[in-house]
Structure 1
């Protein structure tokens, strides 16, 4: 059991708790460590410290704030192998994916270190002589940041880095299943000599801690990544003190494959996207709409690729797909697959929990391909968040667009076609915050990422990610 990352950070000091929560490797069941289940008073103290530190941090020149971020990124890069190993053990994803996430975390922090220097104000021409209209950009204040389990390093950076760059102070609440990775990442930030209280981290019961954060009027913004159901609850709680909210929520992302697509490329991209992190990716492909003319050809290619994938423990060499995060996640996947099969879907491969060695103590589900899926099946309406690929067939472009848009979600959509006129039509018609054309990579540090409809509010990444933590102050100044 690891004892290195079993504490919180409150006011620049380590904080423990009599009450603890277990963190287990989802691939082996091994107890990795115990994290504090911090009491309400500890969470309140974290807010107190963030509030007290706000003036000093917000007054610090952007160039000096950037130096802390730069040193943070350097520390993470120097320790990337150890951090990736911890991430792989705690979250379950293959070590290669974990290392890529740590390196991506470094890129995010470095980018916002530079972007912090570009939060420019504005001068607006006045219609009255002798008057200036000025727009100041100021940090919004104390912010609460709540991160998910699937990318416990990158999501911390996507929230903490722009918040600090903007001049905000913060309280971070990471997912309880992957808190140790977040603690490790965060500890390297504290070790840069960051002014005490500027950044605080608390772990424990999400509902209870969330309530404390949301009820305090000094917390002026909450940035949350997680389920749509929890996001809606946070919006309700935010209304009481009129907090600004940024929400990156669930998705039901379609990919549409047209007859003129490069099928080899499409198959490789779809498989890589769908089975990354065992399907536990918010913008991961949920539904595959394939034109009837290329249905059989694409299915053959998908099936061939899927059968080469190796499911295993994340830290084992050669693993392509790790476990799901917990038993509840496996049960959800089982329910959706069983419902689809009972309603007529054809199981081409997978479709079962893996229980033999070396899977006996983990939460493993076989990579699955379902054909003949219809809109009456629950799997087309719910976010799967698992290694299951449902295939639907269409005849006309309009039919595919209507089906893709027939969801309460709007996070991501993908299409494969060589027809530029069709591409422009689809961009206009698809109801999604992010669209991938002939490729499935969407999340770039320099680009704004976020959803529409019930997939969220606000953006992470790019200059827009910094703007989420900034408040505008307008001044009309008349010359005396």
Structure 2
């Protein structure tokens, strides 16, 4: 049994069993809408707990990879069915841990279920191809082998979708998994792992260890028996993970930050562009790696667009994501709230004009939560901190340009290259944007945030390690190609 209803204690999942960590110590997961509310306590694990989990995964891997892809897929289908049965419970937990609205959390849970079913189907798809040989009496073909034990390190902003879009392909291609979720959303991850347990997944195939990033996250990167690491999180932590993995020759995949622009051309449908900007910038309180951060608008329509944007922003309702009628919840934790407020102060100090928001909300029911107003800056120039660094909060930097070419130059003038969007009815502008924008995800007349589960996802420049997640592209990371030459 995972949880004690008396004290909300959640355990590690290792070798098919829920066990207490060696430290006998716990970490607290709190509700960002009310910091006095404890969602649960998770294990503050040590290296020996990680060693146990890796040993269990390594022991289970040989039998797991021997199963057919179709057989492995059946477990994923069963896990999806279990998640569907517990959808409301999982979504509510995600809202209580991370703060996003219940509607968003239910959508994310449904997406996790769809990802599981997609990758379950991957078990029936091809894993190689026949290649003509110069020897007429030989057969040459490729197949794929799993990496072995895969370490999964996930953030708090998508506590359901990101763990699943990493675990599902790892499992279907024959790997076993050790996952370390963010402490802030570890209870939600435990509920997902429960669904795999309910599906009857063999012992050791999936293991969860909670704890600090410096101990468990870094331990995954350095562990000699972990063959691949997939990470989503900050650039600083990601680079440490990558360096540790590279030093011992492990395969690694890093998805990191973004400073995602929307370009609004003079010929754009402004109402459509405003709706997309609001959704992309303020949904999930701006805590998406693909969130809209910079809005680059042609001067001809700049003032009209700005007024429409401000008008729509005033309609946003802030509050506890479990309540009816709430559009935007709190920041996920106190550290993130502090970070967002510090960037707002930098924007003001560096000369940007604060048009809307910019304050923490503390009155009445908000006093114990990590709430900040949706914020819009005007007169932002490219050298300002708020135009260059990822804020990960509900902050928009408005930037005025005279031409689409100038807009592209401004959009590309950052270290990141994850997602970018343009609003235009001009096919020439669209083609220039597709060709010249340095981003892994290009969207036209659509918000910058979001990607479909069957499509590759990843960034350019400092946004990733240049690999791709999701869709068939996941196969490239989670497997290694074997070339086979057969002669009678």
Length, aligned pairs only:
479
| 1:131 positional shift | 2.1
| 1:478 positional shift | 2.7
SS of the equivalent of 1:383 reads coil
Alignment pair present for 1:24 and 2:33? no
Q: Residue 364 of structure 1: which of 359, 363, 371 is its match?
A: 371
Q: Which residue of 2 aligns with 1:446?
A: 454
SS of the equivalent of 2:420 reads strand
SS of the equivalent of 1:246 reads strand
Alignment pair present for 1:37 and 2:18? no
| 1:3 positional shift | 4.5
Q: Which residue of 2 aligns with 1:73?
A: 80
Q: Which range moved further: 467-476 or 263-272? A: 467-476
| 1:476 positional shift | 2.4
* Aligned mates of 2:356, 2:365 — CA distance in 1: 20
Q: Which residue of 1 aligns with 2:185?
A: 178
CA distance 1:56–1:3, shift in 2 (3 Å): farther
Alignment pair present for 1:153 and 2:157? no
| 1:442 positional shift | 3.4
SS of the equivalent of 1:24 reads strand
Q: Which range moved further: 254-263 or 343-352? A: 343-352
| 1:210 positional shift | 2.0
Q: Deviations over 1:225-280 (max 9, x none)?
A: 00111111111100122111111110010110000000000100110111111000
Q: Residue 455 of structure 1: which of 458, 463, 482 is its match?
A: 463
Alignment of 1:56-67 (within 5 A): 56-67=63-74
Q: Residue 349 of structure 2: which of 339, 342, 350 is its match?
A: 342
* Aligned mates of 2:181, 2:127 — CA distance in 1: 31
Gaps of 5+ in 2: none
SS of the equivalent of 1:118 reads coil
CA distance 1:2–1:304, shift in 2 (3 Å): farther
Q: Which residue of 1 aligns with 2:108?
A: 101
Q: Residue 241 of structure 2: which of 234, 237, 250 is its match?
A: 234
* Aligned mates of 2:76, 2:217 — CA distance in 1: 26
Q: Which residue of 2 aligns with 1:381?
A: 388
Q: Is the contact between residue 155 and residue 232 of structure 2 (CA under 8 Å) also seen in structure 1?
A: yes
Alignment of 1:460-479 (within 5 A): 460-479=469-488
Gaps of 5+ in 1: none
Q: Is the contact between residue 5 and residue 183 of structure 1 (CA under 8 Å) also seen in structure 2?
A: no
Q: Deviations over 1:188-227 (max 9, x none)?
A: 1112111100000000011111232222222110000001
Q: Deviations over 1:352-381 (max 9, x none)?
A: 111111111111100111111112211011
| 1:2 positional shift | 7.0
**Which consecutive segments of 4 or more residues in structure 1 shift more than 6 A?**
none
Q: Which range moved further: 40-49 or 111-120? A: 111-120
Q: Residue 410 of structure 2: which of 387, 403, 411 is its match?
A: 403
Alignment pair present for 1:138 and 2:145? yes
CA distance 1:433–1:344, shift in 2 (3 Å): same
| 1:4 positional shift | 5.2
| 1:160 positional shift | 0.7
CA distance 1:310–1:162, shift in 2 (3 Å): same
CA distance 1:432–1:337, shift in 2 (3 Å): same
Q: Residue 393 of structure 1: which of 396, 400, 403 is its match?
A: 400
* Aligned mates of 1:461, 1:356 — CA distance in 2: 42
Q: Which residue of 2 aligns with 1:9?
A: 13
Q: Is the contact between residue 68 and residue 123 of structure 2 (CA under 8 Å) also seen in structure 1?
A: no
Alignment pair present for 1:331 and 2:338? yes
Alignment pair present for 1:87 and 2:94? yes
TM-score by length of 2: 0.96
* Aligned mates of 1:383, 1:278 — CA distance in 2: 14
Q: Deviations over 1:32-54 (max 9, x none)?
A: 21100112111101000100101
Q: Residue 120 of structure 1: which of 127, 139, 142 is its match?
A: 127
SS of the equivalent of 1:86 reads helix
Q: Which residue of 1 aligns with 2:251?
A: 244
Q: Is the contact between residue 436 and residue 442 of structure 1 (CA under 8 Å) also seen in structure 2?
A: no
Q: Deviations over 1:424-455 (max 9, x none)?
A: 11111000000110002531111001011110
CA distance 1:5–1:453, shift in 2 (3 Å): farther
Q: Is the contact between residue 253 and residue 477 of structure 2 (CA under 8 Å) also seen in structure 1?
A: yes
* Aligned mates of 1:371, 1:316 — CA distance in 2: 32
Q: Which range moved further: 258-267 or 204-213? A: 204-213
* Aligned mates of 1:410, 1:88 — CA distance in 2: 29
* Aligned mates of 1:156, 1:116 — CA distance in 2: 19
SS of the equivalent of 1:468 reads helix
Q: Is the contact between residue 2 and residue 32 of structure 1 (CA under 8 Å) also seen in structure 2?
A: no
* Aligned mates of 1:45, 1:477 — CA distance in 2: 40
TM-score by length of 1: 0.98
Q: Is the contact between residue 8 and residue 41 of structure 2 (CA under 8 Å) also seen in structure 1?
A: no
